[in-house]
Amino acid sequence: MPSAPMPTALFAMDPVHLPELFPPSVLGRLRELVRIDPELVVQDFTDPAAAAALAGAEILITGWGCPRVDADVLAAAPRLRRVLHAAGSVRSLLGEAVWERGITVSSAVHANALPVAEYALAAILLAGKDAFALRERFRAEAVYPAPGDYAHVGNLGRRLGVIGASRVGRRLLELLRPFDFSVSLYDPYVGPAEAAALGAVPLPLDELLRSSDIVSLHAPDIPETYRMLDRERLALIPHGGVLVNTSRGALVDHDALTDELVSGRLGAILDVTEPEPLPRSSPLYRLPNVFLTPHIAGSLGNELERLGGTVVEELARDAAGLPPAHEVRHADLARAA
């Protein structure tokens, strides 16, 4: 019996990302599973060349820079049955028509969560050693501090509060297991038994903030979490506490956080801010108790290959008649990042 023909797929993203997401080794595996033209990377579904390819596409492989997939796009793609997103959230990418037509959607958000969790772990460990402030002092004085100046330093029993059992939050909790932290978790969707299985003590948000030396933020950016760390809640974090934010700047009242950081009461390790990037006049660039990075926690460089590899794995499952391993369900969008 002849084998079934390979399905037809189409890339839709900013072309600059294609060689990073699908380097030759990954692209070669992908082309063993689908018929696809790697020279055609769609940025505008109304482009004549794109429209012709869209008409025959069964699988749409999307990434950063993909135009929105709405009812008009679907009308031009009668054979489309799967959208495989080689990036994180699909919330702003897909219109309601995608879900109404029953198209299966998969995302590489789980793969993108890994480097974010790794960054957060590194930030937490360095914050517990007060590495950033001590580095600034060492640069200024070029002498070692006195032994007594290290009394506040160390990760043994350090109280860590994790906000959000998202994919990143859960991966971080897994990475934290070998260390001697006292870990608490706030997530309104996680009960005591599940929190314990994740290695954390569940706490209400205000109690978590009061009882944490380091707070790591991993909640989704949704209306319910907008500025969840407002002025009153930031004030609950003990003096000398550190906020690690690898989620979204909108979850924190930026003006209130700036006041806390300028006063020196708190420290922060921020990979995201609001706005992003901060204006050059922001004092956060110059404060010794603030460590700013330019939104690098997510997949970058060779880590992007992991996202393309996820798409290939999903195509292999499709070829085997299996459901996607990382399906995105419409019902989950309301509380997803």
Report the CATH number at residue 22.
3.40.50.720
Quote the CA–CA distance of 170 and 114 in Å, as a whole number: 10
Judge if 119 and 256 occupy the same domain: yes
**Active-site position among 135, 276, 329, 330:** 276
For residue 317, the tally of other CB atoms under 10 A from its CB is 16
**Given 170, 171, 248, 306, the catalytic residue:** 248
Same domain, 189 and 98: no
Residue 3 lies in a domain: no
* CA pair distance 42, 54, nearest whole angstrom: 9
d(CA 191, CA 80): 39
Is 57 among the domain residues? yes
200 & 271 share domain: yes
pLDDT by 10s per residue, the chain, length 337: 446 789 999 999 999 999 999 999 999 999 999 999 999 999 999 999 898 999 999 999 999 999 999 999 999 999 999 999 999 989 889 999 999 999 999 999 999 999 999 999 999 999 999 999 999 999 999 999 998 889 899 999 999 999 999 999 999 999 999 999 999 999 999 999 999 999 999 999 999 999 999 999 999 999 999 999 999 999 999 999 999 999 999 999 999 999 999 999 999 999 999 999 999 999 999 999 999 999 999 999 999 999 999 999 999 999 999 999 999 999 888 777 6
- Domain assignment of residue 177, given as a range: 112-292
The C-alpha atoms of residue 169 and residue 278 are separated, in whole angstroms, by 25
**Do residue 130 and residue 100 come from a single domain?**
no
Beta bridge partners of 61: 11, 84
Residue 95 sits in the same domain as residue 223: no
Indicate whether 66 and 144 sit together in one domain: no
Are residue 52 and residue 136 in the same domain, yes or no?
no
85 shares a domain with 196: no
Q: What is the pLDDT of residue 78?
A: 97
Active site residue 276: yes
CA distance linking residue 268 with residue 234, whole number of Å: 12
Q: Is residue 2 part of a domain?
A: no
Catalytic residue among 159, 295, 317, 335: 295
Mark whether 103 and 120 lie in a shared domain.
no
1 within domain boundaries: no
Let me know whether 88 and 163 are in one domain.
no
Has residue 124 been placed in a domain?
yes
Q: Is residue 275 part of a domain?
A: yes
Residues 180 and 282 both lie in one domain = yes
- Could you tell me if residue 236 is inside a domain? yes
Query: CA 66, 14, 87 angle in degrees (round to 5)?
Result: 60
Count the domains in the chain.
2
* Res 5: pLDDT: 85
Task: Looking at the structure, tell me whether residues 151 and 277 fall in a common domain.
Answer: yes
Three-state SS across 97-124? Answer: HHHHCCCEEEECHHHHHHHHHHHHHHHH
Instruction: Verify whether residue 314 is a known catalytic residue.
Output: no
Rounded to 5°, angle at Cα 116 from 255 and 214: 55
Q: Would you state the pLDDT for residue 3?
A: 62
Residue 160 corresponds to which tokens in the numbers above?
A: 């860590």
Q: What is the rounded distance in angstroms from the CA atom of residue 145 to the CA atom of residue 81?
A: 63
Instruction: Write down the pTM of the prediction.
Output: 0.93
Looking at the chain, how many residues does it have?
337
CA distance 304 to 308: 7
Q: Is residue 4 part of a domain?
A: no
For the question of residue 20 being annotated catalytic, the response is no
Separation between Cα atoms, residue 285 and residue 288, nearest integer Å: 9
Beta bridge partners of 106: 84, 327
